[in-house]
Structure 1
Amino acid sequence: MECVFRGTCVGMAPENDHAESVRALRQLRRMRTFYAGGAVLWAASALVAGWDDPGSRQMWVSVVLLAVFTALLSMTYVCLWRQQSARWGEPVHHAAPRRMAWRRHADA
Structure 2
Amino acid sequence: MSERSQLKRAVRQLRRIRSFYAAAMVLWAGSAALTSWQAAGSRQLTVCVALLAVFAALFVTVSVALRRLGVPATAERARRHATASTVSNAGGHAAA
TM-score normalised by structure 1 residue count: 0.64
Looking at structure 2, the residues matched to 71 and 49 of structure 1 have their Cα atoms a distance apart, in angstroms, of 21
Structure 1 vs Structure 2: percent identity of aligned residues? 46
Larger radius of gyration: 1
Could you tell me the TM-score, scaled by structure 2's length? 0.72
* Structure 1 residue ranges, 4+ long, deviating more than 4 angstroms after superposition: none
Q: Distance in 2 between matches of 1:23 and 1:63?
A: 32
Aligned residues: 74
Higher helix content, 1 or 2:
2
Q: CA deviation at 1:24?
A: 0.1
* Gaps in structure 1 of 5+ consecutive residues: 1-14, 86-92, 96-108
Q: Find the counterpart in structure 2 of residue 99 from structure 1.
A: none
The offset of 1:84, in angstroms, is 1.1
In structure 2, the gaps of 5 or more residues are 72-78, 84-96
Q: 1:23 aligns with which of 3, 9, 30?
A: 9
Between Structure 1 and Structure 2, the one with more strand by share is: 1
Q: Hey, what's the Cα distance between the residues in 2 that align with 1:25 and 1:84? A: 10
| Aligned-residue RMSD, C-alpha | 1.9
User: Partners in 2 of 1:51 and 1:60 — Cα distance?
Assistant: 13
Report whether the alignment pairs 1:35 with 2:21. yes
Aligned partner of 2:65 among 64, 75, 79:
79
1:1-108 matches, within 5 Å, as 16-84=2-70
Look up the SS of the partner of 2:70 in the other structure. helix
- Deviation string for 1:57-88 (max 9, x for gaps)? 11110000000000000001100010016xxx
For residues 23-64 of structure 1, the C-alpha deviation after alignment (integer angstroms, 9 at most, x for no partner) is 000000000100000000000000000010100111110000
